[in-house]
């Protein structure tokens, strides 16, 4: 089955009913990628094998709906938090409850196990974060600082720091041993949904409802990248195992990002809806989501996903060179790496400095008799004894590690279409099944070659020049003549790539040794030098003129403002000057104003139709920036009810928004037509098409 479906990049693995009532939370085991825990309003936690729809075991004990669930690193324990604020930890091998922790006053919103040791972090709607030692009752530390609910927690790989993401639009970094904030990141403009540490380097990623993923340097405590492109809130982020790229999961799509510089390597449409968690298993990315009482799991084949190259999200597009992956991640990293201790983390500083806090009133509120009674009502109902013994019983066998490389999750047959495009894609042309573009080593369009039956082994074939090879064998009958085609398809315009292996205007073959059959065409040294110098003076004049024009634009910018400088550049009727200016202001979105959009949009129209790849990429970057930062303003202004009385400022803004909207609608039609192209340009236009989809539904 897998062999018959090698062209699929993503598919739905299975869908099943997980609980008797609505499912509220999901978590994948990150070590194996093959275990799934679900929590529901029926107050149960169910454990599943990702590839099977039969529940392995059902864990009971909570008296309120389960709000959050998480595996520990070894996948031997699972923790669940409820609406009441209680936390329960189960030992999956022993199939019984291990610890009940009481301390939070409202819904548990996120949980996280320490990478080594017996510590557990929890957060709640009460805005508090608590660090627990699961071997004891009561919390070790309480961290205060967020003003709204905390949505995600993550421990650093060395176990020394804790990162928290909150609805208050901030990400905080905590020192576990000191119990205080190290720093706070405030660049997000909406609730932060998820945080994730880089597996090796001092780097932190955060995904937000502002539709961006931001990367933070944990040595300098600065933002080093803002990865944009998602059209819905970012729900999950996950670094690749070698740390070379970042997977970002949002509604019905997966994006693969790189950084330094910021790049989007690939966009994969996946019909998983609001994805809840991601994991990697056997070169496949597993995503899970839930709706009502059902759970769905999806697979993305990472071997067919582009993880290098790609277009820069911001900045000057110069080439398509892939980011080099260090052969030795520890020695070649750009920044400091985590130092993992060789023993389990049982920090004496945590223990000694927290004696006063460990015996917290909340933690000591329960008596031993209450704990015993709780353990009696808490049980593990094993529904599939065979799977339970295979996965959890053999302590001496690494039973949860992914199988060998030849046994990935199988894809469905080709005729079973499961790539359901999300709601925001339903009105636009569908993506091709594979968005990965072939390497742009040549601008020759890709053609499909149909198989033909040839009765002779020496059938004449067309040569590179289009002529048939001479002297066909006598034993071969002449090939059938193709039917006469009256209408020829319009050839695609040739795109001049930004990275080239030969100069424009020179034929490299002129300088290569001539063939033995064509020695008469050999060039002398004088002719070769003349050919090399051909056009040199013209190029120098052109470059001097361009430099002079740029100096003029710069002087206008210094003397007046960016709008006047851009008007001066447009008046020169030289697109190269406009591209140079756009490549500068694309790096600084704060410079953009509505007046600037009115001037730039007609220029973008010309850039997108240019034969130069660098011009097209610059135009795409500017158009993305306008849609992300100005579309909501344009839409709200045009939909607003007329004001009472005379408001000159509002009328001017309304006219500007109407002019921008007209230009955007024209560009939207062009983008739709170009989205059918093959290769990197088609992929860039598909992203724009998705971003400009609201234009079809409004105004």
DSSP string spanning 453-491? --SSTT---B-TTSPBPS---TTSPPPPPPPP-SSPPPP
pLDDT higher than threshold 90 for residue 393: no
Query: Please, are residues 249 and 287 in contact by the beta-carbon 8 Å criterion?
Result: yes
pLDDT higher than threshold 70 for residue 32: yes
Query: Please, are residues 657 and 589 in contact by the beta-carbon 8 Å criterion?
Result: no
Query: Please, are residues 95 and 382 in contact by the beta-carbon 8 Å criterion?
Result: yes
pLDDT higher than threshold 90 for residue 495: no
Q: Is the pTM of this model over 0.85?
A: no
Query: Please, are residues 250 and 275 in contact by the beta-carbon 8 Å criterion?
Result: yes
258 φ/ψ angles, rounded to the nearest 5 degrees: -125, 170
Report pLDDT digits (tens) over 185-212: 988 988 999 999 998 888 999 999 988 9
pLDDT attached to residue 231 = 79
pLDDT higher than threshold 60 for residue 377: no
pLDDT attached to residue 413 = 63
Query: Please, are residues 255 and 247 in contact by the beta-carbon 8 Å criterion?
Result: yes
d(CA 544, CA 664): 35
Of 101, 97, 99, nearest in space to 87 by CA: 101
Average pLDDT over residues 435-456: 36
d(CA 523, CA 529): 10
What's the half-sphere exposure (Cβ side, CA atoms, 13 Å) at 190?
Answer: 13
Pairing of strands 253-258, 294-301: unpaired
Sheet holding 311-312, edge to edge: 236-239, 246-250, 253-258, 263-269, 311-312
pLDDT attached to residue 2 = 41
Distances (CA, A) of 363 to 103, 358, 371, 615: 6, 8, 12, 63
Which two structure tokens, joined as six digits, stand for 662?
Answer: 């007209």
Query: Please, are residues 301 and 262 in contact by the beta-carbon 8 Å criterion?
Result: no
Average pLDDT over residues 381-398: 65
pLDDT higher than threshold 80 for residue 319: no
Q: Who's near 320: CB < 8 A, 6+ residues apart? A: 309, 310, 311, 440, 497, 498, 499, 680
Count other C-beta atoms under 10 Å from residue 518's C-beta.
8
Query: Please, are residues 195 and 204 in contact by the beta-carbon 8 Å criterion?
Result: yes
Of 285, 305, 308, nearest in space to 297 by CA: 285
| pLDDT interval class at 344 (50, 70, 90) | very low
Q: Report how far apart the first and last C-alpha atoms of the chain are (Å, whole number).
A: 48
pLDDT attached to residue 26 = 92
Report pLDDT digits (tens) over 260-276: 888 888 898 888 888 99
d(CA 482, CA 222): 65
pLDDT higher than threshold 50 for residue 311: yes
Q: What is the DSSP letter of 521?
A: G
685 φ/ψ angles, rounded to the nearest 5 degrees: -70, -30
b/e sequence 275-296, b meaning 16+ C-beta within 10 Å: bbbbbbbbebbbbbbbeebebb
Average pLDDT over residues 162-187: 90
d(CA 576, CA 554): 15
d(CA 321, CA 77): 44
Query: Please, are residues 19 and 292 in contact by the beta-carbon 8 Å criterion?
Result: no
């Amino acid at each position: 089955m897998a062999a018959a479906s090698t062209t699929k990049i993503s598919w739905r693995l299975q869908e099943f009913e997980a609980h008797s009532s609505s499912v509220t939370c999901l978590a994948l085991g990150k070590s194996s990628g093959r275990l799934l825990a679900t929590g529901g309003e029926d107050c149960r936690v169910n454990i599943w094998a990702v590839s099977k729809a039969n529940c392995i075991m059902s864990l009971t004990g909570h008296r309120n709906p389960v709000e959050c669930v998480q595996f520990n690193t070894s996948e031997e324990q699972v923790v669940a938090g409820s609406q009441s604020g209680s936390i329960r930890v189960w030992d999956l091998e022993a199939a019984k409850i291990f610890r009940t922790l009481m301390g939070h006053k409202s819904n548990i919103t996120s949980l996280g196990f320490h990478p080594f040791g017996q510590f557990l972090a929890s957060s709640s709607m009460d805005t508090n974060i608590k660090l627990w030692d699961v071997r004891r009752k009561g919390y070790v530390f309480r961290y205060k600082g967020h003003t709204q609910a905390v949505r995600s927690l993550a421990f650093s790989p060395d176990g020394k720091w804790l990162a928290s993401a909150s609805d208050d639009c901030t990400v905080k970094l905590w020192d576990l041993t000191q119990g205080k904030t190290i720093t706070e990141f405030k660049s997000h403009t909406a609730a932060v949904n998820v945080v994730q540490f880089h597996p090796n380097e001092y780097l932190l990623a955060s995904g937000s409802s502002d539709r961006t993923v931001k990367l933070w340097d944990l040595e300098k405590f600065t933002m080093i990248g803002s990865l944009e492109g998602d059209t819905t809130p970012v729900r999950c982020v996950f670094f690749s195992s070698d740390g070379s790229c970042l997977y970002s999961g949002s509604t019905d799509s997966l994006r693969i990002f790189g950084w330094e510089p910021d790049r989007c390597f690939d966009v994969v449409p996946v019909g998983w809806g609001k994805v809840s968690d991601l994991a990697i298993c056997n070169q496949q990315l597993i995503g899970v989501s839930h709706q009502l009482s059902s759970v769905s799991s999806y697979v993305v084949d990472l071997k067919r996903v582009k993880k290098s190259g790609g277009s820069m999200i911001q900045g000057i597009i110069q080439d398509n060179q892939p980011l080099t992956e260090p052969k030795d991640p520890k020695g070649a990293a750009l920044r400091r790496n985590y130092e993992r201790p060789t023993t389990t983390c049982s920090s004496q500083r945590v223990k000694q400095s927290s004696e006063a806090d460990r015996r917290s009133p909340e933690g000591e509120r329960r008596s031993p008799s209450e704990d015993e009674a709780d353990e009696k009502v808490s049980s593990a109902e094993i529904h599939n004894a065979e799977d339970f013994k295979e996965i959890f019983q053999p302590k001496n066998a690494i039973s949860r590690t992914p199988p060998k490389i030849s046994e990935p999750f199988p894809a469905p047959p080709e005729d079973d279409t499961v790539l359901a495009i999300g709601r925001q894609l339903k009105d636009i042309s569908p993506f091709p099944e594979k968005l990965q573009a072939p390497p742009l080593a040549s601008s020759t369009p890709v053609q499909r070659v149909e198989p033909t039956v040839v009765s002779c082994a020496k059938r004449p074939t067309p040569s590179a020049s289009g002529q048939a090879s001479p002297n066909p064998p006598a034993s071969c009958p002449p090939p059938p003549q193709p039917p006469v085609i009256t209408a020829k398809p319009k050839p695609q315009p040739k795109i001049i790539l930004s990275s080239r292996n030969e100069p424009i205007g020179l034929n490299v073959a002129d300088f290569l040794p001539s063939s033995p059959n064509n020695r008469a065409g050999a060039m002398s040294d004088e002719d070769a030098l003349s050919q090399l110098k051909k056009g040199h003076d013209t190029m120098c004049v052109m470059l001097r003129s361009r430099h002079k024009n740029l100096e003029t634009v710069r002087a206008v910018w210094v003397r007046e403002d960016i709008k006047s400088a851009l008007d001066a550049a447009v008046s020169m009727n030289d697109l190269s000057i406009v591209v140079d200016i756009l490549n500068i202001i694309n790096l600084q979105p704060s410079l953009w104003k509505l007046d600037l959009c009115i001037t730039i949009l007609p220029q973008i129209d010309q850039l997108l139709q240019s034969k130069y790849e660098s011009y097209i990429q610059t135009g795409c970057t500017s158009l993305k920036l306008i849609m992300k930062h100005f579309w909501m303003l344009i839409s709200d202004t045009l939909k607003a009810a007329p004001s009472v009385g005379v408001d000159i400022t509002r009328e001017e803004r309304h006219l500007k928004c109407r002019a921008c909207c007209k230009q955007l609608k024209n560009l939207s039609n062009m983008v739709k037509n170009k989205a059918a192209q093959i290769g990197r340009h088609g992929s860039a236009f598909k992203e724009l098409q998705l971003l400009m989809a609201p234009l079809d539904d409004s105004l």
